[in-house]
Each structure stands twice: as structure tokens, then as C-alpha cells.
């Protein structure tokens, strides 16, 4: 009998505490203008999928560039990306440079983002004789805020 009275008295009070305890108007998840978005790209790496395929008089340079946030997780970004193909061989001065926009640019001039690799993919065609024997890639991104990120990869490196 006492237990049933306690249930009747405490039941509505407990429900009221649970309902009111979960309501709050403070603590909204907004970012003020002065704060930093935690997923902003902080570094750039030339992805290990980057490689050169030779076919006849031409070669296709498949460049994969991945942006990473402060925790090293893949991120998307904005800015001007420049890719340079040059040589690490002594005395070889051959090089080629391409420039493209990440995300917001004219159609056909933006670099597509691949959601599977979480990287930007740039297939570039070069004359086969323009590819040095010890080729390396340098990727540099300049963000709209002026931040510069650079990544390098020798194409002689094994995939890792």
C-alpha cells in the first residue's frame, strides 16, 4: 500500500524533472566569426596513389592530393592548387607546372574531390619525353585566407 502511494506521488514528479531537465535554451552549436572551424585543412600530402603511366608519346600523371585537418584526418578545402613535376636527378632541369582551383572555380577548372580516397584527383597529360627519370611531385595550395600548404612525393617511392 505504501509503495503504490509512493509511485503515485513520485511518478509525476519524476516525469516533470526529466522533461524540464532536458530543456535548455543556452548552449547552441554556432561558430562565431572569430572562432576556428576544427576541420579546416592544416596540411597537404601528395597521396601514395600518385603515379605516371606511359603510353606512346604521352604520359598520364595521376596526381592525388589530400588535405588534412589538425588531427590528420582528411578534409576538404578551398584555394588555388599548383602541381609541379620536376626531377630529383642531378643536372636534370625539366619541369612542368599546372594550376587549378579547389571547390569554387569555373566549370572544367576545378579539381574533383574523390569521396572514396578523400583526396582531390588531377589526371594530367604530358609529353613522354618531359617526364624526368627521377620524377617528383610538388603540390602547393594557397587558401583564400593566404595560408600556404606544401606536399612532396618522389615517384620512385613505394606505395605506403
Query: Position of cell 606511359?
Result: 54
Q: Which of the residue ranges 4-8, 35-39, 125-129, 139-143 has the most confident prediction, judged by mean pLDDT?
A: 139-143
Contact indicator for 13, 40 with CB cutoff of 8 Å = no
C-alpha span between 62 and 124 (Å, rounded): 6
Q: Identify whether 75 is part of a domain.
A: yes
Q: Identify whether 136 is part of a domain.
A: yes
The CATH code of the domain that includes 147 is 2.60.40
Q: Identify whether 87 is part of a domain.
A: yes
Q: Identify whether 113 is part of a domain.
A: yes
Q: Identify whether 35 is part of a domain.
A: no
Strand partners, 150: 140
Query: Position of cell 592544416?
Result: 42
Instruction: Give how many domains the chain has, as a whole number.
Output: 1
Burial 68-101 (b: 16+ CB within 10 A, else e): bbeeeebbebebebebebbbeeeeeeeeeeeebe
Query: Position of cell 589526371?
Result: 123
Q: Identify whether 17 is part of a domain.
A: no
CA dihedral 104, 46, 115, 141 (to 10 degrees): -20
Q: Identify whether 55 is part of a domain.
A: yes
Give the model confidence (pLDDT) of 19-41 as tens digits: 444 444 444 444 444 447 788 99
Range of 74's domain?
43-154
Q: Identify whether 15 is part of a domain.
A: no
What is the model's pTM? 0.71
pLDDT at residue 108 greater than cutoff 70:
no
Helix/strand/coil percent split, the chain, to 5: 15, 40, 45
Identify the residue with better confidence: 1 or 136: 136
Amino acid at each position: 500500500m505504501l509503495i503504490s502511494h509512493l509511485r503515485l506521488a513520485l511518478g509525476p514528479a519524476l516525469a516533470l524533472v526529466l522533461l524540464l531537465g532536458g530543456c535548455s535554451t543556452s548552449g547552441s552549436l554556432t561558430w562565431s566569426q572569430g572562432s576556428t572551424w576544427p576541420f579546416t585543412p592544416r596540411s597537404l600530402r601528395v597521396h601514395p596513389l600518385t603515379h605516371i603511366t606511359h603510353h606512346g608519346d604521352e604520359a598520364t600523371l595521376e596526381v592525388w592530393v589530400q588535405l588534412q585537418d589538425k588531427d590528420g584526418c582528411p578534409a576538404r578545402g578551398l584555394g588555388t592548387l599548383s602541381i609541379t613535376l620536376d626531377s630529383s636527378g642531378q643536372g636534370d632541369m625539366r619541369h612542368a607546372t599546372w594550376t587549378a582551383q579547389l571547390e569554387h572555380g569555373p566549370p572544367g577548372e576545378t579539381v574533383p574531390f574523390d569521396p572514396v580516397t578523400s583526396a582531390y584527383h588531377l589526371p594530367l597529360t604530358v609529353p613522354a619525353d618531359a617526364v624526368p627519370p627521377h620524377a617528383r611531385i610538388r603540390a602547393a595550395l594557397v587558401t583564400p585566407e593566404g595560408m600556404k600548404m606544401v606536399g612532396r612525393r618522389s615517384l620512385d617511392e613505394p606505395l605506403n
